[in-house]
Amino acid sequence: MLTAPRLVAALLLGMVGFLGSEMIKPLMPEGTQFGWFSFVNLGLGALSGWIVIGSRIGRGIVPAVNNGLTGAAALIFWGLFLQAGNEMLRLSLRRRYDGPVEALTDLFRVGLEYGLTIATAPVLGTLFVGGVVAAVLAEISARYWR
């Protein structure tokens, strides 16, 4: 159901996803083609904000902090999974794999590589602090618009 606090959580975590994507770009190898990278992560952030944070609004500020950390972790997980899946699909279309099992195994390898690449204090700090801020502001908005 459309409520203002859910919308606030979705918009704010979407912006955090976009900002995190822009911070990740310089960490990747030079010449990487990003395409829709930032906008896909914006959408993932909005979905994580709507589903993870938005469904748990109304329980207080301390649970909102926990919900923000959970929402940011969900954004990171689904972002890594989707981007690694995209890379796996790109490599499979170039016939780099002998079979589907090898492609699925490589999905986890690529996801782990991406995870290690983004595991820097500025990126993770921005994502987790942004998630907490998004959840707390959504909690505050619930007090006014419920």
DSSP state letters, 122-140? HHHHHHHHHHHHHHHHHHH
**Tens digits of per-residue pLDDT, 86-110?**
989 888 888 888 888 888 888 899 9
Residue 33 pLDDT > 90: no
pLDDT band at residue 83, thresholds of 50, 70 and 90?
A: very high
Asked whether the beta carbons of 67 and 49 are under 8 A apart, the reply is no
CA 78 – CA 53 distance, rounded (Å): 15
pTM value > 0.85: yes
pLDDT score for 29: 87
The span from the CA of 91 to the CA of 97, in Å, is: 8
The end-to-end CA distance of the chain, in Å, is 12
Whole-number percent of the chain with pLDDT over 90: 70
Which of the pair, 39 or 31, is modelled with greater confidence? 39
Q: How far apart are CA 78 and CA 83, in angstroms?
A: 8
Token pair 């995190």 is found at 20
Q: Give per-residue pLDDT as tens, 39-61.
A: 999 999 999 999 999 999 989 99
**Is residue 95 exposed (0-12), middle (13-18) or buried (19+ Cβ within 10 Å)?**
exposed
Residue 144 has φ and ψ, to the nearest 5°, of -95, -30
pLDDT value, residue 146: 63
